[in-house]
Amino acid sequence: MTKLHNNSGALVGIAALCAALLAPQVVAQGDDVFAEYREMMGDENPAIFTIEEGQELWETPMGSKNVSLEQCDLGLGPGVVDGALAQLPRYFDDAKAVQDVEARLIYCMETQQGRDVIDVLVKPYSAAGDQGTELEALVAFIADRSIDAVVNLPQDHPEEQNMYKKGEEIFYYRAGPHDFSCATCHSQTDKRIRLQALPNLTTNEGAGFAFTSWPAYRISEGLLRTMGWRMQSCGRQQRLPQFQSGSDAVIALETFMGVNAKGAVMAAPGLKR
Ligand code: HEC
């Protein structure tokens, strides 16, 4: 067993990492740069283009049934988009599963539109330099229509409660070559890695901040990114096998964060570094 595989070893590792990377003047400078950018942009989040594209995709008939997604039930009834993201993931009786927005969209494409969703599943998220994927655009559109909605994930169905428990378990599960869990980086308040603030996802405030700001336009990449992508990217930071879009592991983590975020107000698509 290497040193990093015992608990205190991993913490010492993190502390050393932080100490090395977190010179205060660098942190302040980094914050300034992004604050300045946000100010410059004012209300003009470039996500607006992705949102428009998403709306167009939502309304365009496609698939063997040649229908649009407009009758897709995102949890608040067929065709109701407003506020839907603030209550996802949730249990869907037709799919007999708890689904997040990405899994639900794929389900509707397949069952309502009669589409072969393999293309969407093979590449749900953009690579650097891409224009954005269909899934990203649709999620941006739904997020935009959920702005100001209060986060309130249902927890009545046993499967929803189960997802929360699974999410909690994964959140604290230490794995990978560094023996990190999500909690290693996200269960203390006011911590940073490099220039990035690390929200404490175990508190209502921290989870609320994170949950309500995704999907987000990432300035550094010039792309809109979804919460599913964020999970995949953090899984990579943890050196885990890659999380798949719409998988139970992702849905469980989103449920854990979303339930912890209860009462926060949706503000996505946000602007991130
Ligand atoms: C090695 C440390 C590390 C681990 C482990 C880690 N993350 Fe992260 N996480 C980060 C960093 C750094 C950022 C900010 C990245 C950026 O700004 O680009 C972040 C960002 C996030 C965000 C977005 C926060 C926001 O306000 O925008 C969420 C949500 C998140 N992580 C969830 C998780 C989950 C769930 C796990 C476990 C699967 C996890 N993270 C594991 C370091 C980590």
Tell me how far the alpha carbon of residue 159 lies from the centroid of ligand 1, in angstroms: 26
Taking CA atoms only, the protein residue closest to ligand 1 atom 7 is: 234
Please identify, by atom number, the ligand 1 atom nearest to the C-alpha of residue 195: 17
Question: Which class for 173: exposed (0-12), middle (13-18), buried (19 or more C-beta within 10 A)?
Answer: middle
CA separation for the pair 268, 51 (Å, rounded): 11
pLDDT grade for 5, boundaries at 50, 70 and 90: very low
pLDDT tens, position by position, 9-39: 333 333 333 333 333 333 444 556 666 766 6
Q: What percent of the chain has pLDDT over 90?
A: 72
Evaluate if residue 116 carries a pLDDT over 70: yes
CA separation for the pair 254, 234 (Å, rounded): 13
Evaluate if residue 196 carries a pLDDT over 80: no
Closest CA to 51 of 149, 148, 144: 144
CA separation for the pair 254, 251 (Å, rounded): 5
Residues with CB under 6 A from ligand 1: 180, 182, 184-186, 193, 196, 198-199, 209-210, 213, 230-231, 234-235, 237-238, 253, 272-273
Taking CA atoms only, the protein residue closest to ligand 1 atom 41 is: 182
Which range, of 6-15, 51-60, 126-135, 175-184, averages the lowest pLDDT? 6-15
Tell me how far the alpha carbon of residue 138 lies from the centroid of ligand 1, in angstroms: 23
